[in-house]
Amino acid sequence: MEVIAQQVVNGISLGAIYALIALGYTMVYGIIELINFAHGDVYTLGSFFALAILSLLGVTDVLHGWPLVGAIVLASLGAMILCGITGVLIERIAYRRLRHAPRLAPLITAIGVSFILNNIMQLWKGPSPVNFPALIPNTSFQLGAISISNKQIIVVVLAVLMMLALHYFVHNTKMGKAMRATAQDRDAAQLMGININTTIAVTFLIGSALAGAAGFVSGVYYGSTWFANGFAAGLKAFTAAVLGGIGNIAGAMLGGFLIGLIESLTTQFISDQWSNVVVFSVLVLVLVFRPSGLLGESLPEKV
């Protein structure tokens, strides 16, 4: 029982990272019906940007007090801004021209972008995993037989906060309203005076910034990063987005936590090497049997 509870804790913190990535997939799919295949690589790029900022600051190990807060703020904001810009550029260069082409054309360019980013990161930091500074002193709390580390708490709290902020943005701001309108009917939204290009660019900006935040968090959480991380993580996060109901923010969060749980429980009870197979099987099964996802029908609203 304790083992299960411990894996649930691990799965939730793992799932928080997937959820952050899944938000980007779900927003972009909600607004232009494109599986942004490069999104997983933008996430990895986030950890690389954060790492570069930390090494610029000269941070190599655990920090305390104000320097710790400063390093976290600079690294996470920097990664978010740089990833956001990357996302906007990707949309401008690779997707905008194909907005009226059928779905498969931008999907193929998205795979192309993903491979280009992947290659850039491989050349940047080399083909092996690289260390990420621990940053936060490692302490853990005992809850009966379960141990929860402070990093796990931070990951989950951060993810939930960002989701709430996103929810607020989408439902209570003018730009959020424009996004929802564009998602529902692009032509009608344009006739109502909404600038479609700006709205779609903002969607990419936010989605990619969240991926950048996820990249920073995962770097701190795992203590390392790797140029090829984005492929599996991206696919899992996409699974999460579909599982929750694509286009649905709360669904992406729910799906992320579920995928995290499935992965950590598989690791515990079957084995580490089967966890990808199990998660991808879930992907195939969900797409085949319930493509609308868990929350897809009860909450049909998009973005």
Partner 1 sequence: MSRRRRTLSLYAVFILALLIPLIDRNQAHLSFWTDAATFVMLALGLNIVVGFAGLLDLGYAAFFAIGSYSYAMLASTQFGIHIPFWAMLFLAAAIAATFGILLGAPTLRLRGDYLAIVTLGFGEIVPQTFLNLSQYTNGPNGIGPLDPPYFPGVDFSASSVPYYYVALGLIIITLWVSNNVRSSRIGRAWMAIREDELAARHMGINTTFTKLAAFGMGASFSGIAGVAYSAKLNLVSPDQFQFSVSVLILSMLVLGGMGNLKGVVIGSLLLSFVNNFFLPQASTLLHYDLTNYRLAIYGFILMGIMLFRPQGLIGSKSTEKLAESIVHPDQLGAESAEGSVN
Interface positions with partner 1 (CB under 8 A): 33-35, 94, 97-98, 100-109, 111-116, 118-120, 122-123, 231, 235, 238, 242, 273-274, 276-277, 280-281, 283-284, 287-289, 291
Single-letter code of the amino acid located at 118: N
The least CB distance from residue 137 to partner 1, in Å, is 37
Q: How far is CA 56 from CA 48, 126, 216, 218, 295, in A?
A: 12, 19, 15, 19, 43
Quickly list H helices, the chain: 2-32, 39-57, 65-90, 104-125, 150-172, 174-184, 186-191, 196-222, 229-244, 249-269, 275-289
- In our burial notation (b when 16+ CB lie closer than 10 A, e otherwise), range 224-244 reads ebbbebbbebbbbbbbbbbbb
Q: Which residues lie across from 142 on neighbouring strands? A: 147
Least separation in angstroms between CB 168 and partner 1: 30
Instruction: Give the nearer residue to partner 1 in terms of CB position, either 78 or 106.
Output: 106
CB-based contact 177:303 (threshold 8 Å): no
Between CA 62 and CA 250 the distance in angstroms is 34
Q: Which is nearer to partner 1, 149 or 276 (CB)?
A: 276
33 Cβ partners below 8 Å, 6+ apart? 103
Measured between alpha carbons, how far is 163 from 121 in angstroms, rounded to an integer?
A: 28
Provide, rounded to whole angstroms, the least separation between the CB of residue 273 and partner 1.
5
Q: Going by DSSP bridges, is the β-strand pair 146-149/140-143 parallel, antiparallel, or unpaired?
A: antiparallel
Q: Whose Cβ is closer to partner 1: residue 73's or residue 111's?
A: 111
**Alpha-carbon distance 107 to 102, whole Å?**
9
User: Least CB distance from residue 272 to partner 1, whole Å?
Assistant: 10
Nearer to partner 1, 169 or 280 (CB): 280
To partner 1, the closest distance from the beta carbon of 63 in angstroms equals 35
For residue 149, what is the enclosing H or E element? strand 146-149
Nearer to partner 1, 139 or 273 (CB): 273
**Residue count of the chain:** 303
Q: Cα 120 to chain center, whole Å?
A: 20
Whose Cβ is closer to partner 1: residue 181's or residue 262's?
A: 262
With beta carbons less than 8 A apart as the criterion, state whether 166 and 23 touch.
yes
Compare residues 185 and 272 and give the one whose CB is closer to partner 1.
272
Report d(CA 257, CA 237) in Å as an integer: 10
| Shortest distance in whole angstroms from residue 276 CB to partner 1 | 6
Closer to partner 1 by CB, 119 or 198: give it: 119
Report in angstroms how near the CB of residue 223 gets to partner 1 at its nearest. Answer: 25
CB of 259 to partner 1, least distance (A): 13
